[in-house]
Amino acid sequence: MEEQRRIRKTGIVILVVLCALLIAVGLRWSGYKRGNGVRGQLGKEWTKLELVLNQIQHNYVDSVDVSAFIEETLPAIMDALDPHSIYLPPEELRSADEELRGNIEGIGIVFNVPNDTATVINVVVGGPSEKMGLQAGDKIIQVGEQTVAGVQMPQDSIVRLLKGPKGTKVDVLVKRYGEDSPIMFSIIRDKIPVNSVDVAYMVNPVTGYIKLSRFSMTSYTEILEALADLMQAGMKQLIFDLRDNTGGYLDQALKIAGEFLDANKLVVYTEGVHRKRQDFSTYKRGFCYDMPLVLLINEVSASSSEIMAGALQDNDRGTIVGRRSYGKGLVQEPVYFSDNSGLRLTVARFYTPLGRSIQKPYGNSSREYSFDLLDRYRHGELLQEDSIPRNDSLRYVTPGGKVLYGGGGIIPDVFVPLDTTKVNDLYMRLSRQNLPIRFSMEFADRNRKQLSAIDAFENLEQFFAEHRPEYEFLAYIRKQGIQPVQAQWEECGDIIMTQIKAYIGRNTHLEDKGYYPYLGRIDNVLEKALKVLEDQSVTKLAESASAIPPVGEDFDI
C-alpha cells in the first residue's frame, strides 16, 4: 500500500512538473515585466507537453490549483537545468535585489544571537535606530507583538521581523545593561546603505588591505574611495581580499579589475549556445595598474571574484594567494514576471582571457555538486597543494610564461592551507558553546562607557593593555564548568584572546576597523600575502642594485 502511495505521488508530481514546465517556459501565466526575454511560440518539440496539459485541464477528476503547483515545482524544474538557474518568489527576489543594489529597507542595526538573545553590535550612523536612541549592547526582547528572546528563534526570522518597507513602523523592546526596566522604541523603517567594502586599512606603513564582501551596485565607487584613502595614508602596495566573496554584478567586477590592468586588456568573455561570444576588455589604464598587488581567494570565492582573479592571473598581473576558488562560471540572466517573481536563468559561460572555463563540472548529480567543498576537505585539497586537480589537457601558458590550469575554479599562484594549527579540544569546546562571543558581549556591556569613547585603533590597543581581558575570560569559562588544562590554553589561548579582542573592537566606533586588524594577526593567508610582497620587494631591490655599476669600476667606452 505504501509503495502504491509513493508511485501515485510520484506520478502526480511528474504531471505537475510537466504542467509547470510548459507554463514557465511559455511564460503564459504572467508575462514579462522587464528583462531580456522574448515572447514567442514554443517549438513543436513541446507539443506533447501541451497535450498533457490539455488533458489535465479538461479531464482531470478534481480542480487543480495551478498557481500553487507552479510555486511548489518551479524550484525543482530550475534545479534540473544546472546548479545556478533558480526561480525566486517575490519576497526572495526582492531581498536578493536589495542586497546587490547596496541598500535594504529596515531599522539600521547589526546584531548577533550569541545566547538565544539578539544583541545589537552596531547601529548604522544616521539610520532610523540611531535617531531613536538604540545603542550597541541593547538586547532585543520583542519585535512588534512577537517575543524573540529566549525562544530559540532563528536569526533570519528576527531579520524578517525587523526589515520592512520604508515608512512603516516597528516597535522594538530592548533590555539595556544597567537599566532595571526594558525600553520600548518605535522606529520608522528607512533605506539603509549596505557597504560591500567590509574594511580598508593599513596593515603596515606601506601595505594597504581591502576586503570586499560582494560585488554590489556601489562596489566600484566604494573601492575607488578606499584606494584614495589608503594612498593618502601612504600605501605603496595592496592586499585585496576576495575570500568568501560569492560574486554579484559583472559590471562592477569589470570596473574594479580594470583599475589593476593596463588599457586594452581582455578581462573575461562569455559564450553560450544561444549567446555569441562577447569580449569584455579594459578601455583605459587603471589607477593602480602597476602597484604591487596580492589577491586573496578561497574555496568560497565565486563568480565575479573568479572573473577578477582569472583576469589578473591570465594577464600576469599580481599574485593570487589562497586556495582554489569555488568554480561558478555560469552567466545568469535575470527574467522578471509581473507578479514580482523572477528567474535567474543561465544563458552562457564565463571564460578567462586565455580561454579557461571558470565553471567546475556539475554533471547529472546535484548532490555531488552541492557537496563539492566537503569532498575537497575529505580529499585533502584544503590542506595540501598536491591534492588540487590539474588536467594537462586544460593547460594554459600566460604571455609571461606562467603555467595555469582550467577545469573549474581559479588555482592560486601561492597555495595556503586551511589553518588547523593550535586548534585543540579546548578551542573546539569553547567555539561550539560560542563562549568567546558571549563573553565579548558581556565584557562590552560592562565597559560600554569607555569603549564608546574609543575612535582610534591605538586607543583600543591601550584599552586592552590596561584591562587584560584574558584573566576575566578564564574566570568566565570556569563559571561555565570548563576547567582549562594549562598546556591546552597555552596552545590555543592566543587565538581565542585575539578573537575576543576583535569582537570587542567591533563594539566601538571603529566597528570593522577594530575587528579585522586583530583577525589579521591570526590569519595565515594574510601572513603569506605579506611575505609574498616582501619577497617581491627584495627581488626588485636586488635587480635594481645589480643594474647600478660599482663605484670605481673601469669601463671601456
Q: Read off the pLDDT of residues 438-452 as tens digits, 9 standing for 90 and up.
A: 899 899 989 989 998
Backbone angles phi and psi of 202, in degrees to 5: -90, 120
CA distance 240 to 256: 11
Rounded mean pLDDT, 205-217: 95
pLDDT score at 154: 86
User: In the CATH hierarchy, which fold is given to the domain comprising 103-193?
Assistant: Pdz3 Domain (2.30.42)
Exposed (0-12), middle (13-18) or buried (19+): which is 62, by Cβ within 10 Å? Answer: exposed
The model's confidence at residue 28, banded by pLDDT at 50, 70 and 90, is very low
What CATH number labels 197-415? 3.90.226.10
Q: Give the residue extent of every domain in the chain.
A: 2-80, 103-193, 197-415, 425-520
pTM here? Answer: 0.83
Q: Read off the pLDDT of residues 41-69 as tens digits, 9 standing for 90 and up.
A: 667 777 887 788 788 888 889 888 877 77
Q: Which residues pair with 405 in a beta bridge?
A: 395
pLDDT cut 90: percent of the chain above it: 56
The model's confidence at residue 318, banded by pLDDT at 50, 70 and 90, is very high
Q: Does 317 score more than 80 pLDDT?
A: yes
- Residue 242: count other Cβ atoms within 10 Å of its Cβ: 31
- Residues 394, 401 contacting (CB under 8 angstroms): no
Q: Read off the pLDDT of residues 304-314 as tens digits, 9 standing for 90 and up.
A: 999 999 999 99
Q: Read off the pLDDT of residues 389-426 as tens digits, 9 standing for 90 and up.
A: 999 999 999 999 999 999 999 999 999 999 998 899 99
Rounded mean pLDDT, 86-112: 79
Lowest mean pLDDT among 40-44, 77-81, 204-208: 40-44
Q: Read off the pLDDT of residues 424-434 as tens digits, 9 standing for 90 and up.
A: 999 999 998 88
The model's confidence at residue 551, banded by pLDDT at 50, 70 and 90, is low
Helices (H), 170-239: 219-232
**Dihedral over Cα of 251, 253, 255, 261: its sign:** negative
**Dihedral over Cα of 502, 506, 507, 513: its sign:** positive
pLDDT score at 3: 47
- Please give the distance of CA 260 from its chain centroid, rounded to a whole number: 21
CA distance 298 to 176: 39
Helix (H, G, I), strand (E, B), or coil: what is residue 119? strand
pLDDT score at 267: 98
pLDDT score at 63: 84
Rounded mean pLDDT, 455-476: 94
